[in-house]
A and B are shown apart, each in its own frame.
Chain A
Amino acid sequence: MRISEHPILDFNQGRGAQITFTYDGTSINGFENETIAAALHAAGIFTLSHSESGRPRGIYCAIGNCSSCMMVVDGEPNVKVCVELARDGMVVRTQETRGTLA
């Protein structure tokens, strides 16, 4: 969920232009200058990939350190979506295990 009221920060001003991308085929609205992970969390999506054992994975550090957030973006696997900015028209998919190169 997006925060609209906050005692210190004003989020109604600073968000960039609205963009749209797909997540496993579903359309997701986000903003320029926010990460793919941020847009997905705003939409209530927390599971980004599955490990070898099939367990679900989500973000842990959100700053590019831990590799817990890897998804397939425009066909490229192992993209850390906590630091990759969302762009209009992107195709984002849940990553199953290690991902394969096309």
Chain B
Amino acid sequence: MIHIDLLVVGAGPAGLCAAQAVGAAGGSVLILERGNVPGGQLVKQTHMFFGSEKQYASYRGFDIADILIDKLKAMPGVTLKTNATVLAAYDNGVWSAEIDGAYVQIYPKAVIVATGASEKSTPFPGNDLPGVFGAGAVQTLMNQYGIKPADRVVMVGWGNIGLIVSYQLLQAGVNVLAVLGRSGKIGGYLVHASKLRRMGVPILAQHSVKSANGTDRLESVTIWQLDKNAQGIPGTEKVLEADALCISVGLSPLSELLWQAGCKMAYIPALGGHVACRDEFLRTSIPNIFIAGDAAGVEEASAAMVEGQMAGLSAAEYLGYDIPDLDAQRQDCLAQLNSLRHGAVGERIVAGIKSAGL
């Protein structure tokens, strides 16, 4: 049985920054991370970040993870446990976890849920064949474990993840046969798309997968062109001999624990799916539960870090810790989030967050 002031679920950029904000106020924090290493999705991100200095722009993702973890090591009140999965939240305020294979009950005074998100799939015949991967899975195999997952890849989806992972596939010596996008306009940043174009990768607008083909594993992919209503046009099929098909069609927040805890939830497509309703300081409908990062709505690591800090401040306030410049820090977080949420994508997120208000 563990009694603790603050439990942080997940050691991605959001959870690490949340713990930092509370640790800096002298609080006692337990971060539980189900993976073997802390850092969340950052550990496999080899590209340099955008954003501003405060969000570690121009550092590579895995370096940012190391910086955040080192900062926590210097805080005596903060404990980080890997191989520790939070299993459930009970309505009497008890949380349960499996830590190094043992079942543990936790009595936290406050909880920040920073569980991240999971990759969506998309329906087509054969989408369950071995060799059909989420784009993040291929990124994990390549960049975390140094394993080349395939020789010839088709990428479905041209948001930032699809574009970035395609480029990282090229860096690992994999041939990217095509990147497919449903709409008429590239979803991610043009800088990422331009790099692929320069390396000769075909980026096909209004294209999708008709089927993934193979018996024991993926052997080829049939693609086709889409009409104005996003329906496949018969007669436009092409078969690409690929040994991997990567799906990058978005993420959905991992919100099971928030459902279990009884938080008020809402389905917000702009945030990726079901999220807990919250106020601008990331407080949910339950006074001692806070959210941050992709679990609060799918965005980017830069926003996840700022949200982590914001949720940490709210938890620290709830726990009664003294933070002399609380208001100034909150305003600074709001200003950073505002500047990160720009352009068409940013506007959609801002509108989504508004609909997820308490």
A residues near B (Cβ < 8 Å) are 1-3, 5-9, 11, 15, 33-35, 38, 41-42, 46-48, 51, 55-66, 68, 82-83, 85
Contact call B134/A46, Cβ cutoff below 8 A = no
Smallest CB–CB gap between A8 and chain B, Å?
5
Residues of B within 8 A of A (CB): 34-36, 46, 60, 118-119, 121, 128-134, 136-138, 140-143, 145-149, 171-173, 216-217, 254
Bound complex: CA A83 to CA B33 (Å) = 12
Given contacts A3-B172, A6-B172, contact A55 B128 (CB under 8 A): yes
Q: What is the CA–CA distance of A25 and B167 in the complex, to the nearest angstrom? A: 37
Chain A to chain B: the 4 pairs with minimum beta-carbon distance, closest first:
A58-B130, A11-B146, A62-B137, A65-B118
Q: Are A56 and B36 in contact (CB under 8 A)?
A: no
Distance in angstroms between the alpha carbons of A82 and B131 in the assembled complex: 14
Known: A9-B46, A9-B143, A33-B36. A60 touches B137 (CB 8 A): yes
B147 A62 Cβ-Cβ under 8 A: no
Decide: A83 and B133 in contact? CB cutoff 8 A: no
16 more A-B residue pairs beyond the given contacts A47-B217, A66-B119, with a C-beta to C-beta distance below 8 A: A2-B146, A6-B146, A6-B171, A6-B172, A9-B143, A38-B147, A41-B147, A41-B149, A47-B130, A56-B217, A57-B130, A58-B129, A58-B130, A59-B137, A62-B141, A63-B140
Main secondary structure of the interface of A (DSSP, over half): loop
Q: Which of A15, A47, A51 has the most CB of B within 10 A?
A: A47
Contact partner of B173 among A3, A55, A60, A85, CB < 8 A? Answer: A3
Chain A contacts of B138 at CB under 8 A? 62
